[in-house]
């Protein structure tokens, strides 16, 4: 058994983050799996200088819509990168699926539903397709690790102003109900598992009105694991001191 560290971060443009040298800390950290969301770049557009560490295995999934979405996975753990077109049906570059050992690991940039009703419907359908997919993998005997920007705050404790956002996509009852269902299906919100319901900490802040300096934020970035991994959770945290994006990284350590 060995401690394995996972980091998830919505970088809101990997080229913008590179200009701020905001990923250089990876060179000094012990990170076994690095999952980045909203990279907004093709594989050949990702600067080699984002960090010095040379991960052996990389998986880049770019959106068919140039300059939007996109996810990137970096690891030294040998595994198999899989395709997930039946979940990401619009080819928006939203999922890295990577199998190693008995674990299926997912780095996901879930859709945002704030644009209009059509996008909200797509977000909810994406949620349902994704849950069906990971449940199918569990039925085949795989353990599941899911990280990424879920684009929904689960409960009132997960955002600074719940009352003001009751009618906002990202905190709608129908979106939160899917997260209830995810947990009912046997997936653990690792941050709450470790820290309980006391800590009001966030992972995303609007760029407007100094929201981050005032800590008016939302917790929309998560690590979920299937409940068979519950006893292997060592730590889960929010790295809110890391700057460079409107999101901050989140962390999971498993003894696997």
Kindly list the structural domains of the chain, giving each domain's residue range(s) and its CATH number in brackets, ordered by start.
3-255 (3.60.10.10)
- Active-site hit among 98, 122, 202, 247: 247
Mean pLDDT of 87-96: 97
Count CB neighbours of 104 within 10 A: 23
- Active-site hit among 149, 158, 189, 221: 149
- Residue 235 assigned to a binding site: no
- Residue 149 assigned to a binding site: yes
- Residue 246 assigned to a binding site: yes
pLDDT digits (tens, 9 = 90+) for 54-86: 999 999 999 999 999 999 999 999 999 999 999
pLDDT at 1: 54
Give the three-class secondary structure for 253: strand
**What's the pTM?**
0.97
pLDDT digits (tens, 9 = 90+) for 172-228: 999 999 999 999 999 999 999 999 997 789 999 999 989 999 999 999 999 999 999
Residue 154 falls in the annotated catalytic set: no
pLDDT digits (tens, 9 = 90+) for 31-49: 999 999 999 999 999 999 9
CA 221 – CA 204 distance, rounded (Å): 8
pLDDT digits (tens, 9 = 90+) for 94-123: 999 999 999 999 999 999 998 899 999 999
Q: With 70 as the cut, is the pLDDT of residue 11 above it? A: yes
- For residue 181, give Cα distances in angstroms to 87, 131, 176, 178: 18, 9, 9, 5
């Amino acid at each position: 058994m060995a401690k394995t560290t996972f980091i998830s971060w919505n970088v809101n443009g990997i080229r913008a983050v590179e200009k701020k040298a905001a990923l250089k800390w990876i060179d000094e950290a012990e990170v076994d799996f690095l999952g980045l969301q909203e990279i907004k770049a093709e594989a050949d557009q990702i600067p080699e200088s984002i960090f010095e560490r040379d991960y052996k295995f990389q998986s880049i999934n770019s959106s068919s819509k140039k300059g939007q979405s996109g996810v990137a996975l970096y690891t030294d753990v040998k595994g198999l990168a899989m395709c997930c077109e039946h979940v990401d049906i619009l080819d928006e570059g939203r999922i890295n699926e990577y199998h190693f050992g008995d674990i299926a690991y997912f780095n996901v940039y879930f859709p945002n539903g704030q644009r209009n009703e059509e996008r909200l419907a797509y977000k909810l359908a994406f949620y349902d397709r994704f849950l069906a997919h990971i449940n199918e993998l569990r039925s085949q005997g795989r353990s599941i690790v899911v990280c990424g920007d879920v684009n929904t705050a689960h409960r009132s404790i997960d955002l600074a102003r719940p009352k003001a956002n009751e009618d906002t996509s990202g905190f709608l009852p129908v979106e939160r109900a899917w997260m209830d269902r995810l947990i009912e299906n046997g997936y653990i919100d690792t941050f709450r598992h470790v820290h309980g319901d006391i800590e009001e900490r966030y992972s995303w802040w609007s760029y407007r009105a100094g929201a981050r300096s005032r800590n008016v934020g939302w917790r929309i970035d998560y690590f979920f694991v299937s409940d068979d991994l519950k006893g292997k959770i060592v730590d889960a945290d929010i790295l809110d001191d890391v700057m460079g994006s409107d999101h901050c990284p989140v962390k999971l350590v498993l003894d696997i």
